[in-house]
Structure 1
Amino acid sequence: MTLREAKVGCSYKVKKLNGEGALRHRLMDMGFTNGCPFSVRKVAPLGDPVEITIRGYELSVRKDDAENIEIIEA
């Protein structure tokens, strides 16, 4: 399951980051590391972006980037 498929109001943990180079580094800089818990706050009407709460702050992630974040339910 990827972040793009996550449901609003649910809590998840990061399972794995896909992608290489700059994309992977940028996701890690935003706070996505293995095992990190987060919750989905809302999704825009067309599914882009996804707003989450991670490490005490709110973050919006584009759906193209969200496909590179594998998650599991917390």
Structure 2
Amino acid sequence: MEIKVLGTGCAGCKALFETVCEAVNQLGIEATVVKEEDLLKIMEYDVMSLPALVIDGTVVSKGKRPSVEQVKELLR
């Protein structure tokens, strides 16, 4: 599973990255978690609100910071 946190390095983006890492660890799943800060690459996902969460190429959350429990639900 590949998980990307899209964001320009703001506090919310960094917090979402930490939340995703925590959710992956709690679930004990094999996943690659990447923080994507390149604006050109972010634009490829057609996301206008950051931070955004992408799981296996699909945008599942944008413009908000889901909780650990919400991220775990998205990963299941």
- TM-score, normalisation: structure 1: 0.28
- TM-score, normalisation: structure 2: 0.28
Name whichever structure is richer in helix by fraction. 2
Name whichever structure is richer in strand by fraction. 1
